[in-house]
Amino acid sequence: MKKLFLIGLLAFICTALYAQNDLINLRLEARADYQREYIDGDDVEDNCGFDGKFLNIRMDGHIGQGFSYSYRQRLNKANKDQSFFDATDWIYLTYTKNNWSLSAGKLVVGIGGYEYDRAPIDLYFCSEYWHNIPCYQFGVSGAYTTDSGNDKFMVQFCESPFMGELSDMYSYNIMWYGSHGWFNTIYSVNLIEYAPCKYISYIALGNKFNMGNMSLELDFMNRAASGQTFIGKNISVVGELSWRPNKKLNIFGKVSYDVNDTESAADLCVLPGTEITRVGAGVEYFPLKDAVNDVRIHASGSYTFGDNGNVAGALLDKQTFLNVGVTWRMDVMKLGKQMLSK
């Protein structure tokens, strides 16, 4: 059913584009790094050396009469069970009428926070929660945007990120995106099925404070299930301070803290017995005068300490991670009505 739905959606987009000749914006983005990982000073040999991190294609456009679409495919991500769509981050169709919109397809699961919201290609080291949440699932969402455009409220019903081999598990998400100059938000409340008829709830509060050429992103997430102390036992906190003295340079420092001081099996991202902290910093350089973000050179380093209840977790005690690399984004094709009529 999922394959038929996506094939039908792609066919509809292509047919409408051919008929309407409205807009195709096709981009390719890639990132390659050289990295070193150490645990208590010893090399982690299978995570050292050159690595092709990302190779993505993205296509966006307007079909006409209120319809638009967005599609992103990871070309370097393995497909499971021979399914092409395992490597599809998202593909969805949106209908917009006045202040209202309705989207259907494979979507980003509506969970708050700036670290979670940022594209993976733009992240160098992350929290334990970020590494373990499958954030793209099939579903539908409806949104209302205020007349000023400063606030967007979204309700979403989608597959659970934790469904695994099961298909009849769901996530219910309510989000608020706020943009108010110096203060911006990505907030959510979530009820997510982690096992059949068993739910974990989230309160995820993403805050961004703009101060001239500096910005502070501060995320707080609280997770709880039935029988747990609701506030403070199972949380993730992420803070990132950035300073951009000019268009070509960005310097940042970042801290993440994940803790699960419960005995519940409800949290499948940050396991019980975890209390782990990651601190790091980095620099980004944008060499192009125009299209300033299309080429980026970066260097970053982080150090992790504490306990991880997941022996196969991404963050480990006394872990050092160093990384340098380059990212580039290229326009492959841009077509609109005027260009196609020439």
Q: What's the rounded mean pLDDT across residues 136-142? A: 97
CB distance 210 to 243 below 8 Å:
no
* pLDDT at res. 71: 95
Of the candidate ranges 85-89, 103-107, 190-194, 203-207, the one whose mean pLDDT is the lowest: 85-89
Q: Please, where are the H alpha helices in the chain? A: 2-20, 114-117, 128-132, 337-341
Round to whole Å and give the CA distance between 56 and 60.
13
What predicted TM-score, i.e. pTM, was given to this entire model? 0.90
Maximum separation of any 2 CA atoms in the chain, in Å: 66
DSSP-assigned states of every residue in 158-214? EE-TT-TT--S-EEEEEEEEEEETTEEEEEEEEEEEEETTEEEEEEEEEEEEEETTE
Enumerate domains of the chain plus CATH numbers.
2-341 (2.40.160.10)
pLDDT digit string, tens, across residues 14-43 = 555 454 545 789 999 999 999 999 999 999
Residue 64's pLDDT is 80
pLDDT tens digits, one per residue of 159-169: 999 987 767 99
- In this predicted structure, the answer to whether residue 187 has a pLDDT above a threshold of 90 is yes
> What's the pLDDT tens digit per position in 265-274?
999 999 999 9
- CB neighbours of residue 39 within 10 Å: 14
Mean pLDDT of the chain, nearest integer:
90
Cα(203)–Cα(195) distance, rounded to whole angstroms? 19
Under 8 Å between Cβ of 219 and 204: yes
152 pLDDT tier (thresholds 50, 70, 90): very high
pLDDT at 341 over 50: no
Query: How far apart are alpha carbons 269 and 107 in whole angstroms?
Result: 20
pLDDT score, position 23: 74
Question: At CA 193, angle to CA 259 and CA 316, rounded to 5?
Answer: 25
Instruction: Answer yes or no: is pLDDT of 276 > 90.
Output: yes
